[in-house]
C-alpha cells in the first residue's frame, strides 16, 4: 500500500491543530489516541530518564516537525508545495529513525519547557495520532 499524502493532509486539516509532526514508537497506538509525554534523555546512562531514579518530563511528546514553518503550515496557500514539504520531512525521518510504528501527530500547543535537541525536533503537548503508517509505505 502506498502512502496517501492527500488523505494525511486532509486528516491534519480536520484535526484543526497548529502543530504537526512525525514520531516513531516501539509501542502501538491507534488513530485518535493521545500520546504520552516524553522524558529527557539521560546521556550518561544512554536511556530515557523515565527509566532512572530521576525521571524528567519534557513537557510534551518529542516528534520531528513536518513543515519548515512550525506553526503556520495550515495557512499555506499552495497545497501542492505543502504536500511536497511534508513528504520531504517524512523522507528525512525515514533516513534518520527506525521504529516499529510510525505516526503523524497533530497538536494545538508546543512545549517550550526544554530546548529542542535539534532543529527538526519539536515537543508537542497532548498530540493526537492522525495517521498510522508502516515502514514499507515510507520507503
First-to-last alpha carbon distance for the chain, in angstroms, is 11
pLDDT value at residue 23: 92
Asked whether residue 31 carries a pLDDT value surpassing 90, the answer given is yes
Asked whether residue 74 carries a pLDDT value surpassing 90, the answer given is no
Q: Which three cell numbers stand for residue 6?
A: 492527500
Q: Is the pTM of this model over 0.85?
A: no
Asked whether residue 34 carries a pLDDT value surpassing 90, the answer given is yes
Asked whether residue 61 carries a pLDDT value surpassing 70, the answer given is yes
Asked whether residue 3 carries a pLDDT value surpassing 80, the answer given is no
With CA atoms as reference, report the closest residue to 74 among 14, 138, 137. 14
Amino acid at each position: 500500500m502506498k502512502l496517501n499524502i492527500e488523505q494525511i493532509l486532509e486528516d491534519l486539516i480536520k484535526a484543526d491543530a497548529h502543530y504537526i509532526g512525525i514520531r516513531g514508537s516501539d509501542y502501538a497506538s491507534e488513530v485518535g489516541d493521545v500520546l504520552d509525554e516524553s522524558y529527557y534523555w539521560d546521556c550518561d546512562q544512554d536511556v530515557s530518564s523515565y527509566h532512572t531514579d530521576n525521571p524528567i518530563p519534557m513537557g510534551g511528546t518529542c516528534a520531528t516537525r513536518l513543515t519548515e514553518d512550525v506553526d503556520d503550515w495550515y495557512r499555506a496557500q499552495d497545497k501542492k508545495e505543502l504536500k511536497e514539504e511534508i513528504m520531504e520531512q517524512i523522507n528525512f525521518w525515514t533516513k534518520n529513525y527506525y521504529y516499529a510504528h510510525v505516526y503523524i501527530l497533530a497538536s494545538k500547543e508546543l512545549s517550550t519547557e526544554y530546548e529542542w535537541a535539534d532543529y527538526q525536533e519539536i515537543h508537542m503537548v497532548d498530540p493526537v495520532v492522525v495517521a498510522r503508517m508502516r515502514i514499507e509505505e515510507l520507503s
